[in-house]
Amino acid sequence: MIDVIDEIVGTDISAKSKILSSTLVRREDLIAQEIEGELVMLDMKSGHYFGLDPIASAIWKNMETPISFQNLCENLMKEYAVSKEQCVEDVNIFLEDLLEKELVEVL
């Protein structure tokens, strides 16, 4: 997986995202419940709730404990029929959104 990330971002990881070289974990204080195949979360700090589709839910579940971006993508590629390049791109975009909403932390 590291080779794939090197191919995609080259030697300058900051050009794409610092997430690619990070270890991430979800915030522990969020309330989450699976309802009819969708994970619904409530952020008590902001009062906002979020709904995650099955793939986003799989990403979320993988971040129960700290996980590197590389390991997260490897886990997802085992579970879903997705190319390495597409997985890296899609997971990066999703994690940037979660970081912006302060739902995950970079360690």
pLDDT by residue, tens only, the chain of 107 residues: 333 333 444 333 343 467 888 999 999 999 999 988 789 999 999 999 999 999 999 999 999 999 999 999 999 999 999 999 999 999 999 999 999 999 999 98
> Quick one: pLDDT at residue 17?
64
- 95's tokens: 């994690």
In angstroms and rounded to an integer, the radius of gyration of the C-alpha atoms of the chain is 14
CA separation (Å) from 22 to 4, 34, 56, 73? 15, 27, 18, 12
User: What CATH fold (topology level) applies to the domain 2-101?
Assistant: Outer Surface Protein A; domain 3 (3.90.930)
**Angle at 22 (CA atoms; ends 13, 12), nearest 5 degrees:** 5
Q: Is the pTM of this model over 0.85?
A: no
> Quick one: pLDDT at residue 38?
85
Adjacency order of strands within the sheet including 104-106: 67-68, 23-26, 104-106
Question: Dihedral of the CA atoms 85, 97, 44, 65 (nearest 10)?
Answer: 30
> Quick one: pLDDT at residue 92?
94
